[in-house]
Structure 1
Amino acid sequence: MTKIIIIEDEKYACDALVKTLYEAAADIEIKAILTSVEESIRFLSQDAEADLILSDVQLTDGLSFSIFNEVDIDAPIIFITGYDKFMMTAFEYNSIDYLLKPVSKDDLQKALTKYRKLQKHFMSANESLYHFINHFGEKKKTRILVRKGMEHVALQLDDIALFYTENKVVYVFDKCGKKYLADKNLSDLELQLDKDRFFRVNRQYIVNINFIRSFKAFERVKLQVELTLSDWHHHIIVSQETAPLFKKWLADA
């Protein structure tokens, strides 16, 4: 199921777009309809998880480009407008297509086909990169230096259940339920850790395979990971895009 966010301030145009979307594809879900720059920034700052964004360019309170200047968005964008003068600017963002109003079913189907082809290509490329790094990368560490108050501790990586970030602080959670502070961000840690044991399930968590009890379907296309830790109460969610790699990582372990 492709989760779509629509940004459109004209109700008639929005209703027509939704109708055409459902005619063009059966495997879509409208996650949200946003009607202004201000509302979009507020919403996407809290919940930016979408597979695809369809956005008008000219909104009542400004151009939609200002939304994507304020909020870091990974999802590709299809811009929809009544004018072609914004086309070059649109492709400075995550734009994969630029459609002129009124949007036809044929144009929308072509744009969705382009999205799916790009998605398939990058998923394949990410998987190839994962295997290359896994087999040819440098030898990984067995310990990591962490902090507990004023004390620095050399912690065995085998004893670390997961790394996670919260309010821009990176924490280390060990098998005994003790929490430490890390001096590196998750991206730097990801490069140093053994890919056979640790997996970055989303922007917030890197988990150790030895502390994963199970996973189950979440919102049909995502996964929820359950850990063996008795004192761990966070919900760890794997996105639709990452779920196939995560399953393969577990299966190949």
Structure 2
Amino acid sequence: MKLNIIIIEDELTAAENLRLMLKEIDTDINILAILPGVEKSLEWLSSNKHPDLAFFDIQLEDGLSFEIFKEAEVDFPVIFTTAFDEYAIEAFKVNSIDYLLKPIKEEDLIFSLGKYEKLNKRNVEIEVVDKILGSIRSGQKATTFLVHLRDKLIPVSAKDIAYFYIQEGLVRGCSHQNQLYPIDHTLDELEESLETNQFFRANRQYIVNRKAIREMEFFFNGRLSLKIAPPTPETILISKARVPVFKSWMRG
């Protein structure tokens, strides 16, 4: 059975490479159109039968491909091809929109096509598009993380995490209910993406949520020891140099 696909991509080389990879993977794939921008895509969608699947680049010659969702009825699943930031990508995942990072690898493309076969087709809600657009344009901090639990991706709100920590090279988040989640980010990345008025980088091993801090104790050599709920695997110490910064953050 033919799989009808459109590619929305303003880089001709990238579009052609994707077309060739798709045809090599499955000769029954039919590329209906390669469209370079938002306006051309809207024109095509208004006058042609919609595809079974589409590949949307994010940044097009005349704007962001998200605008297409606001002007046309997108009643087919979309796989984004992007070199965009991690926060936007996570938002796509939460809403069952797959993505491929450029340059696209054949094995990743095969995986995405397999995922398409398993997923029910669903529309992209306009509220989701507005949220993603607003986040990109305003530089809004990350509010949701996707965590792998067995064979599922589970969205977890950042505010529900009491602390993030690294142990034996693995980053985890511990919720206020003492549930542990594997986190696919480094602590440095988390420090950049989290709300600074809510989370504090205590040391190289821990980032703590303000709401999880129960008390502080003076420790040897001018350091502070934090007591967190739920309890941490090891004592969280703030260095003497960081104590004034931490106190200022707590007062803020």
* TM-score, length of structure 1 as denominator length: 0.44
TM-score by length of 2: 0.44
Q: Say which one has the larger Rg.
A: 2
